[in-house]
Structure 1
Amino acid sequence: MKFYIIGERELVLAFKLTGVDGTIAENRNDVLNAFNRITGKGGTANIPTGEIPKVLILTEQAASQIEEEELAWQKTGNFPLIVEIPGLNGHVKGRKMLSDAIKQAVGVEV
């Protein structure tokens, strides 16, 4: 399964050490351009079908900059699936953690 990360420099470099490609995003424009390229929105994808990542990892800081676009993509049900992870400064206040979302959806604490 192919993964891709968009986020802060240090996290992207760390993921690259494990073989995961990524884009360093320093502002909303960087995040949005990378997101559109990976998801193929706007016809900007130059990625062959077999190379499309199945999982897109966004740091919470990156995800907070494109909340509307991310939500619209998730509603399509297409690949890549989006997973948010805390950034270098930890969990962003006010953002729901994955374990909280699972607990709310399934009723089981993870």
Structure 2
Amino acid sequence: MIEVTAVAADKIKEYMAANKVDSPIRIMAQNGCAGPSLNLVLDQAGDNDQLVQQHDLTLLADREMLAATGKITIDYREASSGCGCGGGGFTVSSEKPLSGGGCGSSCNTGSCGC
């Protein structure tokens, strides 16, 4: 199951209109420094994708990934003030944690710990 909050849907539609984009939005897992994370990209549907229509948006994700992640929620948060770690943007979270590596402490940037 995929859920998009109303605020996230509005921000996605705002971006797509401003950039004249008419494409499905893929939810995909990417491995990064801190381990795997879910991200949004513009893409076309493949044979193993599940398509979901919400808020006049077409979302897609690989069926196997969805089975592993459980419910996925897409939200948007505004930037906050503070130590510089409160940047706004989209959050894509899953009911079940993603498995995989990362590079651990070798990627420490010395930030404020957010």
TM over 0.5: no
TM-score w.r.t. length of structure 1: 0.24
Larger radius of gyration: 2
Which protein, 1 or 2, shows the higher relative CO under an 8 Å CA cutoff with sep ≥ 6? Answer: 2
Indicate the structure with greater helix content: 1
Whose strand proportion is higher, 1 or 2?
A: 2
